[in-house]
Amino acid sequence: MRKEIEFCRDEMLDQAIYSELARRERNAEVRELLKQFAEQELRHYEFWKEVAGDCGALDRAKLSYYLWLRRFLGLTFTLKLLERHEKETIEEYKNYLPHLPEEKRAQLLKMIEEEESHERSLIQSLAERENAVKYLGFVALGLADAIVEITGVHAGFLGATATTVVAGVAGLIVGVSAAIAMSGAAYLQAKHGGMEERLNPLVSAGVTGFAYIFAVLLLALPYFLTHSMAAAFLASLAAALLLIVSFTYYGSVVGEREFTRELLENVAILLVTAIITYIFGVFVGEVTGIRAGGLHT
């Protein structure tokens, strides 16, 4: 496919996404900002259509995908994900400049400037308005702490006992008590943290506690579905890794951080915790004599 056609289709898709997001947005001020996005992308699409000729049909599957992201992951995440793609497109535009006729280069340079500055400032403005982003730190706090702590508890019981129900109940008890403590800490942090934009302490506490309890229930569930400690632990560990990948990716997109490095750090903390607590669990199980019969498989 010729580059001009590829660029034209990208701009056509972006224009359609922003138009649909604007049409579905209830907040009047945000809707106007999204319309500005759509108008800007329309100008870019018309430029590439003039250069390329026929661009083909709109990719409706991708349009539906981004609208699905908006519904379930929020407006800011969707726009930041689009922005990531557009950063790559900007570099391609710069590389393509020498292939354009002289009279078209000034237009493309203006488009690049718009993509780099104007749109970025608008996306940041939208990010600051969305509650999902404001409280993202508390969600991440609840999930991250719960994943590491409950996986550590389960790994310890993997070494200490062969009874899955005991390990599952222990995870629930520790998890609920820790969730209450974390919610209290989040409440105090929001109330006295001195943040630029004061967050609602009750919402902060609720978000942290909900995220913590959700992780606790998910990680404990396998222990009530099987009598094999090995199978339960592996299933719980897989769920923990899935949660880590999910919230790390979301945070990296919204916070514009490097995904791979942050993911490796989080996974390393989880695995080191699991290994240490497993060894300690084996030691406690042997010393106290509570570990009988080994692992059920």
pLDDT one-digit tens code per residue, 238-286: 999 999 998 888 888 877 788 888 889 888 988 888 888 888 877 877 7
Rounded distance between C-alpha atoms, residue 57 and residue 100, angstroms: 24
Q: What average pLDDT score do residues 60-77 get? A: 88
pLDDT at 13 over 90: yes
For the residues 170-181, what does the mean pLDDT come to?
88
Residues 166, 95, single domain; the answer is no
Query: Which alpha helices (DSSP H) does 53-135 contain, by range?
Result: 60-73, 75-96, 102-113, 119-127, 131-134
pLDDT value of residue 71: 85
Q: Round to whole Å and give the CA distance between 216 and 240.
A: 10
Both 211 and 261 in one domain: the answer is yes
Answer whether residue 196 is part of any domain. Answer: yes
The pTM of the whole model exceeds 0.85: no
What does the chain come to in residues?
Answer: 297
pLDDT digits (tens, 9 = 90+) for 103-121: 788 888 888 887 776 556 6
Residue of 127 and 42 predicted with greater confidence:
42
| pLDDT number for residue 79 | 84
User: Any idea what the CATH number is for the domain that residue 17 is in?
Assistant: 1.20.1260
Instruction: Give the pLDDT score at 107.
Output: 86
pLDDT at 196: 45
In the chain, how long is the greatest CA-to-CA distance?
A: 84
Predicted confidence at residue 66, as pLDDT, reads 93
169-188 average pLDDT score: 86
What domain range includes position 218? 135-288
How far is Cα 50 from Cα 257, in angstroms, rounded to an integer? 36
pLDDT top residue among 12 and 29? 12
C-alpha 128/C-alpha 170 separation (Å) is: 40
Please compute the mean of the pLDDT values over residues 123-143 and round it to a whole number. 66
Q: Kindly tell me if the per-residue pLDDT of 139 is higher than 70.
A: yes
User: What is the C-alpha to C-alpha distance for residues 173 and 185, in angstroms, rounded to an integer?
Assistant: 19
SS3 183: helix
Q: Is residue 295 part of a domain?
A: no
- Domains identified in the chain, total number: 2
Q: Tell me what the mean pLDDT of segment 84-91 comes to.
A: 83
Residue 296 has pLDDT above 50, yes or no: no
Q: Are 232 and 164 in contact (CB under 8 A)?
A: yes
139 and 226 together in one domain: yes
Give yes or no: residues 175 and 232 share one domain: yes
| Whether residues 63 and 145 fall in one domain | no
* Spatial contact of 239 and 210, defined as CB atoms under 8 Å apart: no
pLDDT value for 294: 43
